[in-house]
A and B are shown apart, each in its own frame.
Chain A
């Protein structure tokens, strides 16, 4: 067991965890942060995406111990002062979700994406979210939501740095992993 101290959604937690505990398990089982969900066992679906020091990561590909000393934001910590985050608002407005299972990961991946590219094109959005699978929406309304949210997010982070000073997170970054499935396939008109 290892001692870790992690700030999650603005609260600092100190816990003993098994070295093999994944960050997503720690969030769900130890902290009850069940807003973050698990959709696969191969780090392909992106359902578990959270922000680690402001960058999106798949929390199933990060160990809890690797989050020690870092700051995690989950879907549950995104709204501030009872106000929905612009990405949340845009997902609602554009009907970018149906069953909503992919949604927490999709929203967090969007936050990560817009942190790096504040005004993406439709194509860049599609590429940026390649590591997040949705079975319900066909993605079109998700893409629209991201494009709708972008200006407001950019404005919001004008005063503050959206990406914290680069302490390179230990896990893989969400939207750069898992291209295999898509890369092997064709199509992708937009």
Chain B
């Protein structure tokens, strides 16, 4: 790893900030996991074939809401190679209900959520029966032969309609479409002032801006369709699943099915992306487990892409109403947020908590004194929503960053200047926000000035003015998004105070093998994030062993017995710290042994570059030599067990708060509505960086998804509740031609909440980019009188908004 450490050909060199001899942290190490992935030696769940394995296929409801009146399985049972056909009723004694781990209020309403529907289906695609056959093709063919009769029921699909009187009920048995109502009020919480007063004052002598934003429904669309294999042979049930959460899944499977947890082993082999979409306990997993157990045969269920789009949980889908109060000179004095959040038909694992995560982020990087957040969680007859990259935080960031641009427009000022007037200055950290969180560190000034410089902000503003002046059909717009997010989910006590059902710690173990190799066992469960590489760097640095000698094991509950898995940009900021702590314990244990073997006082043993030596002498041993000596155990100090292996569990004291400034320039063709991203610059501050290459990759991927929300993607249902965007033909996942070349850079403000100073980067790009793009498009056409355009900003929508707008100048002259 020499010449390849930099980024040749890049506008911005990602110069490794570490990289000095022997330093691992900060090096742009090429990833360890690539070897198998680029040669096709990857272990995807769907690759698994076991002796006698049966293939499953689901029978799914074509209706969004219907009563099941009868199911005739006889034709399917008699089809070639079919072994069994089981309905929801057949499995009902065993299937329990799928879990919701986040009862956000004590009186939250949640329907029972069977893996296979029994009496009633409440969204199109819900599974009602399963076929087990000797081949996947036979199972799918037979699924077509299952004859289900339905009696259609009225559907409710629109979020705002769902809360009106007399709206059809998604679950008639609940008597309401409202699942929960959750409020945070800074005056009540004692974290700030009363927002109504702030608004009243602003109405009298200031500025009040009211807006309604629609967060469209999105589909996570990880590239690997979900797949589950269950092997019931042997003493334990083994499940392989394309999941982000093998540990949580194991606990939940035990709770749902009553099978002792100790009899379940869950393995997440190589997993092809998740983005929150595989943070779930699914009907497919539970069904596969129950069928395998009943038939005493290994079973596999791999979904098709169309199934995946229909039933794997969706994301976003909110209506946001905001009222922002400010003084006449553009100081924000209060923000009121009224949210409707679409749960879909059920509460999945964290469905109900996603909008609540956003509650803490609407105030973003600003220090206004009054804040109220109110959220109504609503059922509709659509696939349930749940975590999707950012989970609640992109929605919040979008809203506040749009509002800051609206405020700037109202004031006729530069949006950066208005932000700067309101943001927390770097010398004010740590800063307790109006939402009650303590931001650890940040430097919005530094990130912003670097972004402005890279972007050529002034130059583009000049060009914008020129294009306006000459009424160019192609108008230029500049969009700003200065974001922060809470990463490192999460301090367990905070999760407890929010009624979440579990903690937020992470576990790690380090085993020193007799041959000097090092095994690192992590409770994080990577699915593209590069933990094998990053954790190896941490351990190589901490233990002074070669990077190549570190093996990272994860994603198997029998290997990593404890874990909280991977989501919410938590892996490095929580799991990485557990690795650090385990490494430090290894050194401490080794110190005791070294002192004994070197006949010195433990206090005199120094540890540098993998060697324990007696201070002031040339006597010493390497960690590997000590590992071998401990393995032999011939000469251990009295009362010391022959092991220098160590376990650690880290529960963070606080979240970490990365931030960044994203600037986007778009060209909008006012004659066609076409939008082209002309330049995208982002400067992120994610604290210290273990591997800049991985960080950059996370930013790129996040940007792609956030830009896609702004311009391309939307899950659309027809008026019967059928998803009409269930393939990649209709759901516009961006391809390489749809995305610009990104310019990325970083500033580094170390986190003060953990010993590595790291913050988390998984969701940053997604959170920041959507408002940057939308603000840019609006900035290009605002002078034409356009105030808002619904996402995704398709050419048609942009064109129509321009047609319908009353040009500002015209309006003023009237």
A130 within 8 A of B: yes
Contact with A along B255-284 (1 / 0, CB 8 A): 000000000000000111101000000000
Q: State in angstroms the CA–CA spacing of A40 and B223 once bound together.
A: 8
Closest partner residue, chain B, to A33 (CB atom):
B40
Contacts of A136 in B (CB 8 A): 223, 273, 528, 697, 701
Q: State in angstroms the CA–CA spacing of A46 and B765 once bound together.
A: 25
Tally of contact residues, A, Cβ under 8 A: 67
Are B736 and A130 in touch, CB under 8 angstroms? yes
Contacts of B698 in A (CB 8 A): 98
Are B38 and A41 in touch, CB under 8 angstroms? no
Contact with A along B420-464 (1 / 0, CB 8 A): 000000000000000000000000000000000000000000000
A26 within 8 A of B: no
Shortest B794–chain A CB gap in Å is 7
A11 within 8 A of B: no
Q: State in angstroms the CA–CA spacing of A36 and B8 once bound together.
A: 30
Are B37 and A131 in touch, CB under 8 angstroms? no
Q: State in angstroms the CA–CA spacing of A6 and B675 once bound together.
A: 47
Closest partner residue, chain A, to B47 (CB atom):
A34
Contacts of A148 in B (CB 8 A): 8-9
Tally of contact residues, B, Cβ under 8 A: 76
- Most B CB within 10 A of own CB, among A78, A136, A182: A136
Are A181 and B38 in touch, CB under 8 angstroms? no
CB within 8 A of A187: which of B30, B34, B528, B738?
B738
Are A186 and B4 in touch, CB under 8 angstroms? no
A59 within 8 A of B: no
Are B676 and A40 in touch, CB under 8 angstroms? no
If A40-B728, A42-B729, A100-B42 touch, whether A138 touches B735 (CB-CB below 8 Å) is no
Contacts of A61 in B (CB 8 A): none
B580 within 8 A of A: no
Closest partner residue, chain B, to A140 (CB atom):
B700
If A37-B44, A107-B38, A187-B677 touch, whether A181 touches B736 (CB-CB below 8 Å) is no
Are B44 and A34 in touch, CB under 8 angstroms? yes
Q: State in angstroms the CA–CA spacing of A147 and B698 once bound together.
A: 21
If A35-B40, A91-B34 touch, whether A100 touches B676 (CB-CB below 8 Å) is no
If A41-B727, A138-B701 touch, whether A103 touches B222 (CB-CB below 8 Å) is no
Contact with A along B166-196 (1 / 0, CB 8 A): 0000000000000000000000000000000
Shortest A56–chain B CB gap in Å is 15
If A135-B222, A141-B700 touch, whether A99 touches B528 (CB-CB below 8 Å) is yes
Are A100 and B270 in touch, CB under 8 angstroms? yes
Are A76 and B33 in touch, CB under 8 angstroms? no
Are B41 and A35 in touch, CB under 8 angstroms? yes
Q: State in angstroms the CA–CA spacing of A125 and B35 once bound together.
A: 24
A45 within 8 A of B: yes
Are A137 and B700 in touch, CB under 8 angstroms? yes
Which residues in chain B, 97-154, are within 8 Å of chain A measured between CB atoms?
Answer: none
Q: State in angstroms the CA–CA spacing of A45 and B527 once bound together.
A: 19
If A99-B273, A186-B674 touch, whether A88 touches B728 (CB-CB below 8 Å) is no
Shortest B466–chain A CB gap in Å is 19
Q: State in angstroms the CA–CA spacing of A136 and B676 once bound together.
A: 22
Are B676 and A186 in touch, CB under 8 angstroms? yes
Are A184 and B223 in touch, CB under 8 angstroms? no
Shortest B86–chain A CB gap in Å is 24
Shortest A51–chain B CB gap in Å is 13
Q: State in angstroms the CA–CA spacing of A91 and B34 once bound together.
A: 9
Contacts of B30 in A (CB 8 A): 92-93, 95
CB within 8 A of B694: which of A33, A91, A95, A184?
A95
Which residues in chain A, 33-74, are within 8 Å of chain B measured between CB atoms?
Answer: 33-42, 44-45, 47, 74
Q: State in angstroms the CA–CA spacing of A179 and B456 once bound together.
A: 34
Closest partner residue, chain B, to A74 (CB atom):
B40
18 contacts between A and B (CB under 8 A): A34-B46, A35-B41, A39-B305, A99-B224, A99-B271, A100-B272, A101-B222, A102-B223, A107-B38, A126-B735, A132-B736, A137-B700, A138-B700, A138-B739, A139-B704, A148-B8, A189-B679, A190-B740
What is the interface of chain B, defined by CB distance below 8 A to chain A?
4, 8-10, 30-31, 33-42, 44, 46-47, 221-225, 270-273, 275, 304-306, 527-530, 667, 673-679, 693-694, 696-698, 700-705, 707, 711-712, 727-729, 731-742, 765, 794-795
Please provide the 4 A-B residue pairs with the shortest distance between their CB atoms, ordered closest to farther: A35-B40, A101-B272, A100-B37, A99-B528
What is the interface of chain A, defined by CB distance below 8 A to chain B?
28, 33-42, 44-45, 47, 74-76, 78-79, 84, 88, 91-93, 95, 97-104, 107, 122, 125-127, 129-144, 147-148, 178, 180-182, 184-190
